[in-house]
Amino acid sequence: MVSSIGGNVSTNAGGPHCLKYGITTNHVLGLELVTGTGELVTLGGKVADRQGYDLTGVVVGSEGTFGLVTAITVRLVHAAQAVKTILASFTDIEDASEAVSAIIAAGIIPAALEMLDELMIRAINEGTGAGYPKDAAAVLLIELDGPAAEVEAQGERAARICWERGALEVRVAKDNDERALLWKGRKEAAGAVGRLAPTYLLQDAVVPRSKLPAIMRELREIGVRHGVQIANVFHAGDGNLHPLILYDDRIPEELERAKAANEELLHACIEMGGTITGEHGVGLDKAKNLPLQYADADLNFMYRLRGVFDPDRLMNPGKLLPAHPACGEGFHPPRPRLPQGAWI
């Protein structure tokens, strides 16, 4: 799979390394944009301090609805001196989640902190033979990078934390080949679920990290309620879930059940203080879910903001912002109350 920098900018893309390095917007210094009115504008640039509104910041993640991004200036980061990868297996996903919290509470911000749940582990073990322990109900992949001495000290501490939280096994990669092996299962996760079901809905939602055990319980219950299996592989460090809702597209009502489970899952994430998309964007499908997270006043602001860049609403119509019955002016916020008074 490949992605272009323009696509990353458009969706404000993330990935496994965000906990430490931030998302796309944190690295974009400037853009060249053709707005909805056909004007070519230069926003930001190589110099860090700029005057005026942060237009670069608001164009990143606008999913092509403000205009076409034609050039991008990014800040680069020096490659790290050392990398250390640790794989810890647990018999209980709650222990694994606690290990995640304890690692961060210890002041360690890993470059990646990925988790696989029981169903996913089974699919991977049967598929690629990554060799995760058979009894594992959660696998945690921890990657640290930075100055060698820092990686060494923090790696030891992270491994110790995993043991303290009841890890079944902790493996530390000794070289690049071993690193690749530890990542192999994670990287092939999406393919491995093919062993369990012919099709899946891949979701992208976020909960506060401390709510990981609660959302995992909730996902199990949602799966049971709708008669679907849900496999999980996610960026545990920032609470960014990627549930794979498995179904068989040859059976017509299975897709409906998967979709119902999907909607319920998004509601559950919002209930826990999360968000409906962490890194893949709103697009067409989730535009209808945006009102779960934002009130009419908030959506009205976004609608008008889009109009500043693209007054005729020609760019990528239907993406990101939900359609509204009142179309056009939509999303009227309630007006503030003023006291009864004779000031007018």
Partner 1 sequence: MGAVTGSVGETLAAIVGASRMQEGAAVDGTFAVDGVLPRWGVRVQTLEHVSRVLALAWEAGLAVVPRGSGAGQELGAPPSNVDIVLDLRGLDQVVEYNPDDLTITVQAGVTAGALTARLVPRRQFLPLDPPAAEARTLGGITATNATGPLRLRYGTMRDLLLGVKFIQADGVVTWGGARVVKSVSGYDVPKLMVGALGSLGVIGELTLRLHPLPDAEQTWLIPCRDAATAQEFVLRLLDSTVQPSRVELLNAPALAACGAPGSAAAVAVSVGTAEAAVKAQGEALGGLGRAVGSAAARPAQGFWSRYAAALVPAQCVELGVATLASKVGEAIGEIERAVAASLSGVAPTIGGSAPLGSLRVVLPPAEPARVKSIVERLRAAHAPAGGGVTVRRAPRDVRVAVDPWGPVETGAFALMRSLKEEFDARRVLNPGRFVGGL
Question: Taking CB under 8 A as the criterion, which residues in 115-174 touch partner 1?
Answer: 146-150, 152-154, 157
Q: Does 328 bind partner 1 (CB under 8 A)?
A: no
- CB contact at 8 A, 245 and 254: no
CB of 276 to partner 1, least distance (A): 5
Contact yes or no for 78/52 (Cβ under 8 A): no
Instruction: Report the site for partner 1 in 288-307 (rule: CB under 8 A).
Output: 290, 293-295, 297-302, 304-307
Interface residue with partner 1 among 9, 16, 36, 43 (CB under 8 A) is 43
Q: 268 CB contacts (<8 Å, ≥6 apart)?
A: 215, 218, 219, 222
Q: Is residue 308 near partner 1 by the rule CB under 8 A?
A: yes
Instruction: Say how many residues touch partner 1, by CB under 8 A.
Output: 100
Which of residues 156 and 248 has its CB atom nearest to partner 1 in the complex?
156
Q: Decide if residue 199 touches partner 1 (CB under 8 A).
A: no
Q: Tokens representing 321?
A: 């912002």
How far is Cα 149 from Cα 144, in angstroms, rounded to an integer? 11
61 binds partner 1 (CB under 8 A): yes
Q: Which stretch binds partner 1 (CB under 8 A): 127-135, 170-178, 180-188, 331-339?
A: 331-339
**Using CA atoms, how far apart are residues 201 and 247, in angstroms rounded to an integer?**
8
What binding mask, one character per residue, do residues 220-249 give for partner 1 by CB under 8 A, x or -?
Answer: ---------------x--xxx---------
Q: Other C-beta atoms within 10 Å of 106: how many?
A: 12
DSSP structure string for 55-79: HHHHHTTSTTSSEEEEEEEE---PP
Minimum distance of partner 1 from residue 254's CB (angstroms): 28
CB 263 within 8 A of CB 205: no
Q: Which of 48, 325, 327, 328 lies at the binding interface for partner 1 (CB under 8 A)?
A: 48
The rounded distance, in Å, linking the Cα atoms of 307 and 128 is: 49
